[in-house]
Each structure stands twice: as structure tokens, then as C-alpha cells.
Chain A
Amino acid sequence: MQVLSYSGSQLVDLCSALLLLTCFAIVAQRRLSACVDLFALQSAFLVVTTALVAYLTGNQHLYVAAALTGVIKVIIIPRVLKKVIDRLNVKRELVMYVTVPAGLLICGGLVMLAFFISQPIIPLGFLLTRDSLAIALAIVLIGLFTMIARQKAVTQLVGFLVLENGLFLGATAATYGMPLIVELGVFFDVLIATLIAGIYTNRLQDAFDSVDTNQLTVLKE
């Protein structure tokens, strides 16, 4: 059992590290559809991580959460976003507040910050999720940064979803999953938020011929 939980802990660490890796790929990526694909990939890694934690801890309700993540975040949300991108007919995001290398450096700094903050907490935590908490915090910060640094509404939405993935990983790592009813509520919220933001993006396109959120600042009563 000891050996199993040791290599299990390594597997969970590995999957969390893969989540972080995809985060950086999203930050470095300029094409919108590739961003959405990477988000789907990241969610797939999240499914694996959650299922692993469920298997290793025996918390049955985490399997439900993993399955829901799979259906909603790997299949439904990327499809909705792809439809939005198709309709908008924008392939790449040319307007960013920060250049890609600068964004990467900032994200590196954010990860450093997240690691330093979570360093004192980690020895108190469970053996199974040694790195996950720090990584989850880092992913939340990177998601937040993506929302701030990108101008187009679609990538801001991807940033929001990445942030949510980080929160979910954090919840799984720190407490071995929230109560099922809370998780269901969160999934429903995220799905509705994505749908609303998709519709809002389409309206933005109709009103301004652009999904640049900067244009919203010129709105007057």
C-alpha cells in the first residue's frame, strides 16, 4: 500500500505538472482555436488527475466530478467556443497588451510567487498531493493574467476557464474534492457562464464589428 501511494503520489504530481505545462502553451499561443484545443487538453489532464485521486483515496464522488469535467470541459465548452470562433471569423489574436515573451516571463514570476506562498503549507498537507496545491495556485494566477493580458473576448473566456481548472485542481488537491452538490453547482455555473459569454461575444461582434473588449470603454448612456 505504501509503494502504491508513493508511486500514486508521483503520478498525481506528474498530471498536475502537465496541467501547468499546457497553461504555458496557452499563454504562448496566438491562434484562438489552438488556445481552445489546449484548454480541452488541459481539462483532459484534469480528468486524469481527478480520477487518479479518486482511485487512490477511494472517494467515489470524485469519479462523478471527473466524468462531469470530461463531458463539460473536454467536449461541450470547446465545441461552444469553436462555434463562436467560427461565427466571428477571427483566426488569430493580433492585439495583446503584453508581448508573448514578456507574458511568459510574467507567468514564470507568477509561478514563483505561487510556489513561495504555498511552500509553508505543503508539509502540513497530505502525501498524495505534494505539488498539486502549489501548481493549482500557479494555474489560477496564470488564468487571471491571461484574462488581463488579452484583448479579445474569446481568449479572456479561455483565461477564465483555465482559472476555473486551477480552482478545481486546488479543491481536489487540498480537500480530496468538495461535496458533490457544490461541484455540481460549480459545473453548472461554469457552463452557463461560458454560454452567456459566448452569446455576449456574438453581440459584441454585431455591435462593434470586433470582439476587442477595449471598445466597451467608449460606451455611454
Chain B
Amino acid sequence: MLQAIILVLAQVTVLLAVSPFLVGLIRKVKARLQLRRGASVLQPYADLAKLFQKQPVISTTASWVFTATPYIVFASTLSAGLLVPTFISLNPMNFAGNIIALVYLLALGTFFLILAGLDAGSAFGGMGSSREAIVASLTEPAMILSIFAIALTNGSTNLSTIVHRTALLEGTVTDPSPQLMALAALFIVALAETGRVPVDNPATHLELTMIHEAMILEYSGRYLALLEWAAGLKLALFLSLIANVFAPWGIATTAAPAAMMIGLLVYLAKTAALAVVIGIIECMFAKLRLFRVTDLLGVAFILGLLGLLFFYTLRS
């Protein structure tokens, strides 16, 4: 019991500590590829610390939704993060929810962000919210389909069980074709959900194309810090999901200290590598026009569907 609590706390700490680093790493990779020196990878930590000390300014027209949203978004993203195994495959929170619960915890955060964008009454916020609603409604079917494809090939919807089973196979992926389709779909979904380049540009402010930044434009001080941190958490969550479900090699399968240390190091290496890949993608591709985003998410949807098809028609 005590061990379970310690493991949960360790898991939370790892997720919270790693997420600003991943954001910083992506920025650094982008800067280096654009022949700039770039800020230190630890800059997001300093930003968060600074924002937490500042006094928030709230619009006089804003209702309780505006002040409650940062806490709801942060809490829902963090509780979704608890369901994803990070460095150990035996997650003590496994009983509490499966991947479907994870999808809807994330959707809860998105829903409140959309409300908060509308709440302050600024023109940008409303625009960001309506765009986010388009993207969210298109990513959800793609994400659910790819998750079902993963769940079917592993015979469980509980993330920890999936990762544990795959990890025990020691290096052989159970069924490559549906997994590959699901991986591609989930990667596109991850880019869209975390507001990365082909869909949204996290590096710009006050531009007509932004989605996530437009919704949180009215936030300042500790509220902004919480939302930024929550966005980083969501990124870390998707990267751990991709790294651990599709390549669970090296993750600790027992609670032995040595295995957990190796698991932690491997986890850091894998998520950092994925962050570098995202940084490279952000440099290689231009942001899509908003009405082309549907094409990209359509690809994700079809790929998720193909993952299921492989399973149902070819394996039955």
C-alpha cells in the first residue's frame, strides 16, 4: 500500500518535472536548426517560476469559469497523466481508469479551455475557441480509433496492462501492421492536441492563425503559469504514451530500485528523442491553413480505422 502511494507520487513528480524540460528541448532544437543559439532548455522552468510570482489580471466581464479553468485544466491533465505509465509498467493507478477515461479527462480540459476563451469577451479568445472546437472534434474520433486498435492487439484497454504485456515480450512488437497504423494516427493526433506546428504554431502570439495561444491570451500570472504547465504536461503525456505503448523497451517491469533507475533513464531518453523529432518536424513543415487541418486529421482518422481493419479482417 505504502509502496503504491510512493510510486504514484514518484510518477507525478517525474511528469511534472519533465514537462517543462521537453518544451524547452523542442524550442532549443528548433532554434539550433534555424541557426539561432536559442534559450537554455531550462528556460521554461524560469518562466514558470516568474509567472507564479506575478499578480494575475482578470477582465471585469469574466465569470467564475475564467478563474476555475486553469485549475480544472491542470487537475484533469495531471489525473490523465496518472493513468500513463512513465518509468514503471506496473502503474498503481491502473484500477482507476483505462485509455477511454484518459481521452475524456483530456477532453474535459479542452472543453473548459474553450469556455474560458469565450468567457473573457475578447475577439481573439472566441476565434481560438471556435478553432479549437473544430480541431478537438476531429482529433477525438481519430484518437479513439487508434486507441481501440492498440487495445485490440493487446487484449486490454488498461494502459498499464498493455505496456506491461508488451514489455514482457522483450523487444518483439506483438503485431506490427495495426500498431504502425495506430502509431501514425496517434502521432498526428498528438501534434494536433498539443498545438504543434502543422496544426497550430506555439511560437507566435497575436497572429490570426493561432489556436491554443488565442484561447489563453487573457490569462496572466499564476493562471497563465498553470495553463502553460498543463500544456507541457499534455505534451509529456502524449510523448510517454507513444514511447511506452509502442516501444516499451527498457521500462521497469518490477518495483526493484535498479530496474526503476534504468526505467527512468530510458524514459527520459525516449521522450527527449521524441521531442527532438517534433522539433525537427516543426522546422521542416509549414503550418497548414486552417481548412487544410481537416485533411491531416482525416489521414489520422483513416489510419486509425486501418489499424482496426487489419485486426478485424486479417486476424479474425
**A residues in contact (CB < 8 Å) with B:** 6-7, 10-11, 13-14, 16-18, 20-21, 24-25, 28, 100-101, 104-105, 107-108, 111-112, 115-116, 119, 122, 130-131, 134-135
Taking a contact as CB atoms under 8 Å apart, the answer to whether B173 and A18 are in contact is no
Residues of chain B within 8 A of A135, CB atoms compared: 177
Contact A21 B184 (CB under 8 A): yes
Query: Complex formed: what's the CA distance from A21 to B179 in Å?
Result: 12
B18 CB, nearest partner CB in chain A, Å: 29
Interface residues on B, range: 20 to 34
Residues of chain B touching chain A, judged by Cβ–Cβ distance below 8 Å, are 172-173, 175-177, 180-181, 184, 294-296, 298-299, 301-303, 305-306, 309-310, 313-314
Cα-based distance from A134 to B298 in the complex (angstroms)? 22
Docked Cα-Cα span, A6 to B175, in Å, equals 11
| A6–B172 CA distance with the chains assembled, in angstroms | 10
Taking a contact as CB atoms under 8 Å apart, the answer to whether B177 and A24 are in contact is no
Q: Are B177 and A131 in contact (CB under 8 A)?
A: yes
Cα distance, A131 to B307, chains bound together (Å): 12
- Report how far A100 CA is from B172 CA in the complex, Å: 36
A28 and B295 form a contact (CB under 8 A): yes
Given the known A-B contacts A10-B172, A119-B314, are A104 and B299 also in contact in the complex, defined by CB atoms under 8 Å?
Answer: yes
Structural contact, A115 and B180, CB atoms closer than 8 A: no
B181 in complex: contacting residue of A10, A17, A105, A134, CB < 8 Å: A17
- For the A-B complex, the count of residue pairs with Cβ-Cβ distances under 8 Å equals 70
B314→A28 contact, CB < 8 A: no
Instruction: Assess whether B172 is in contact with A108, with CB atoms less than 8 Å apart.
Output: no
Measured CB to CB, the nearest residue on chain B to A107 is: B302
A38 to B184, CA, bound (A): 16
Residues of A within 8 A of B296 (CB): 28
Q: A10-B176, A115-B309, A115-B313 are in contact. Are A108 and B302 (CB under 8 A)?
A: yes
Judge whether A28 and B172 touch: CB under 8 Å: no
Assess whether A111 is in contact with B309, with CB atoms less than 8 Å apart: yes
**Apart from A17-B310, A130-B314: 15 A-B pairs, beta carbons within 8 A:** A10-B176, A14-B176, A20-B181, A20-B306, A21-B180, A25-B299, A28-B296, A104-B302, A105-B302, A108-B309, A111-B309, A112-B309, A119-B313, A119-B314, A135-B177
How far is B174's CA from A7's CA once the two chains are assembled, in angstroms?
10
